[in-house]
Amino acid sequence: GAGVSQSPSNKVTEKGKDVELRCDPISGHTALYWYRQSLGQGLEFLIYFQGNSAPDKSGLPSDRFSAERTGGSVSTLTIQRTQQEDSAVYLCASSLTPRGGPSYEQYFGPGTRLTVT
């Protein structure tokens, strides 16, 4: 079946502009995650959605970052007034079950490479 998809695959934007990154999770997956990965670094957790619960936004680095998940499916990560340090690969993942516990597995999308010039 279809995996997690993200769009666009690449995005180049000018400093100060807003960008929107899209994630389509695997159908039926209740949990959705956003991560950021700078070149050669590990993954930095940004935000977690689980069903209809309030999202865990503890990883968002500043108030310029926000995310929403509509209808429990598609999610959009918005970065306002982009800065050069926002340049990174933004990865989305989904899981069938909430985080934690046995048989818990995240499925990752290919990522969106964001370059802020």
Partner 1 sequence: LAKTTQPISMDSYEGQEVNITCSHNNIATNDYITWYQQFPSQGPRFIIQGYKTKVTNEVASLFIPADRKSSTLSLPRVSLSDTAVYYCLVVENDMRFGAGTRLTVKP
- Residue 27 lies near partner 1 (rule: CB under 8 A): no
- Residue 110 lies near partner 1 (rule: CB under 8 A): yes
- Residue 109 lies near partner 1 (rule: CB under 8 A): yes
Q: What angle do CA 63, 69, 75 make, to 5 degrees?
A: 85
Instruction: Choose which of 43, 64, 72, 80 interacts with partner 1 (CB under 8 A).
Output: 43
Instruction: Choose which of 27, 58, 70, 84 interacts with partner 1 (CB under 8 A).
Output: 58
- Asked if 35 and 46 count as a contact pair (C-beta separation under 8 A), the reply is yes
Alpha helical stretches, state H, the chain: none
Choose between 24 and 109: whose C-beta lies nearer to partner 1.
Answer: 109
Using left for φ > 0, alpha for ψ between -120 and 50, and beta otherwise, residue 89 falls in: beta
Q: Give the Cα separation of 112 and 5 in Å (integer).
A: 10
**What are the residues binding partner 1 (CB under 8 A)?**
4, 33, 35, 41-43, 45, 48, 56, 58, 91, 93, 99-111
